[in-house]
């Protein structure tokens, strides 16, 4: 068995929720996920790689001190305000 790595438990929960998994769904694939989220036990590197792949995040994210601030998808596709269209050159 590999060495266990000290991850930030809140990041395990954040990654799971961001990926749209509830605890029961994630536990089917990762039986110890609740223990990881509660900080009772730490995952191995192989488990972290599998977790990162399943939740579509880089492995490094589990070592951040706190969850990153990621804007909602709606905020990344905002358009210009109506007044800005008047300032654009004609096409």
Are the beta carbons of 54 and 36 closer than 8 angstroms?
A: no
Domains and CATH numbers, the chain: 9-87 (1.10.260)
pLDDT digits (tens, 9 = 90+) for 6-59: 899 999 999 999 999 999 999 999 999 999 999 999 999 999 999 999 999 999
On whether the CB atoms of residues 57 and 63 are closer than 8 A, the answer is no
Backbone φ, ψ for residue 39 (5° rounding):
75, 15
pLDDT tens-digit map of 71-82 = 666 655 666 666
């Amino acid at each position: 068995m590999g060495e266990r790595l000290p991850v930030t438990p809140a990041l395990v929960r954040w990654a799971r929720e961001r990926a749209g998994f509830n605890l029961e769904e994630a536990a089917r694939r990762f039986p110890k996920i609740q223990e990881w989220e509660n900080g009772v036990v730490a995952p191995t590197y192989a488990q972290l790689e599998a977790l990162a792949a399943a939740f579509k995040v880089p492995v490094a994210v589990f070592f951040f001190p706190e969850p990153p601030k990621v804007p909602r998808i709606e905020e990344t596709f905002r358009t210009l305000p109506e007044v800005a269209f008047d300032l654009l050159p004609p096409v």
